[in-house]
Amino acid sequence: MQPTAVRRSRAFLLGLGLVGALLLAHEPWRHSALAVVRFPFTFLRAAVRLVILLPRVPSLIEENARLRESLTERELEVSSAREALRQGQAAQALQAAWPQSGGHLASALARSPLPTQQTLLINRGQTHGIVEAGLVVDAQGVVGRVLETQASTALILLLTDPNSRIAALVERSRETGLLIGRGFAECQLTYLDLGADIQAGDRVLTAGLGGAVPKGLLLGTVTKVERLERAGATRATVKPAAALGRLEEVLCLPPAS
C-alpha cells in the first residue's frame, strides 16, 4: 500500500508540474494563472486601503464640497470679468461712433414683452442728465427717443413703436417725410409726394425738425417703395440701422441747441 501511495503522490506532483509548465509555456494561460494567484493579494491590498480611507471619507466629502464652491466662485468671477470687458468695449464703440456728442452712456434694464409696445428701460435718469424727448443712439444709428424719465431710470420709445414719430429726410435726394414705427422691426416713411425721388437702398436721416432732434443722424435704409396712385402719394418701408432687437448699451444725446 505504501509504494502505491508514493507512486500516486509522484504522479500528482508530476501532473501538477506538467500543468505548470503548460501554463508557463502558453502566454494566455500564464496570464490567467498569474491573475488567479495574485487575486487574493490584490483583494487584501484593496481591503486594507479601504479600511485606511474610511475614517477620512467625511473630511474628503467636505473638502470636495469646498473645492466645488471655490470653483463656482471662480467661474462667476471670470463671467463677471468677461461681461465687464464686453461692456467696456461696447462703451468704447459708442464713444468712437459719436466722439463729439457729449451724450450719457446707459445700459438696458428691461424691454416690453408686448409686440405692439416697443419700449426699453435704461439705468440712467434725471440725476444723470437724461431729458425727455432726447434722442437715443447705438453705434449704428438712432434707437429712439426718451419717453419718460425718473430719478435713476428712463423709458425709451423705440423707432419701431407705432407711437414713434420722427421727421426724416432721404440722404441722396433730400426728400422729407415722417418716419412712423410699424412694429416687427420696421418703420414707414410717409407724407411723400407721388413723384418723390426715393428708391430702395436710400439712407434715411433725421431731418432736424422738432427741437430736440439733431439733424443728419442715420435712421435706417429704404427696403421697399410703394407709389399710391389713387392717394397721390408715396410711402417707403425703412429698416432701422440700430440693432433694436439686441440693445444692451446706448447713448443718450443732449437736446439739439
Q: Give the Cα separation of 117 and 137 in Å (integer).
A: 19
116 Cβ contact partners less than 8 Å away, ≥ 6 residues apart: 162, 183
| Residue intervals in the chain for CATH 2.40.10.350 | 104-252
pLDDT in tens, 39-67: 666 766 776 676 676 676 677 677 777 77
Instruction: Tell me the whole-structure pTM to 2 decimals.
Output: 0.66
- 17: confidence class by pLDDT, cuts 50, 70, 90: low
Cell of 225: 417703395
- Across 175-179, 183-187, 240-244, least confident range: 183-187
pLDDT in tens, 107-140: 999 998 787 789 999 999 999 889 888 889 998 9
The alpha carbon of residue 216 and the mean position of all alpha carbons in its chain are separated, in whole angstroms, by 32
Question: What pLDDT does 69 receive?
Answer: 78
Is the model's pLDDT at 142 over the cut of 60? yes
- Report the topology of domain 104-252: Thrombin, subunit H (2.40.10)
Q: Where are the alpha helices (DSSP H) in the chain?
A: 2-25, 27-53, 57-97
Bigger pLDDT: 86 vs 250: 250
Cell of 251: 447713448
Pick the closest to residue 158 from 139, 143, 171, 148 (CA basis). 143
Pick the closest to residue 168 from 157, 176, 160, 159 (CA basis). 176
Bigger pLDDT: 173 vs 59: 173
Question: What pLDDT does 58 receive?
Answer: 73
10 Cβ contact partners less than 8 Å away, ≥ 6 residues apart: none
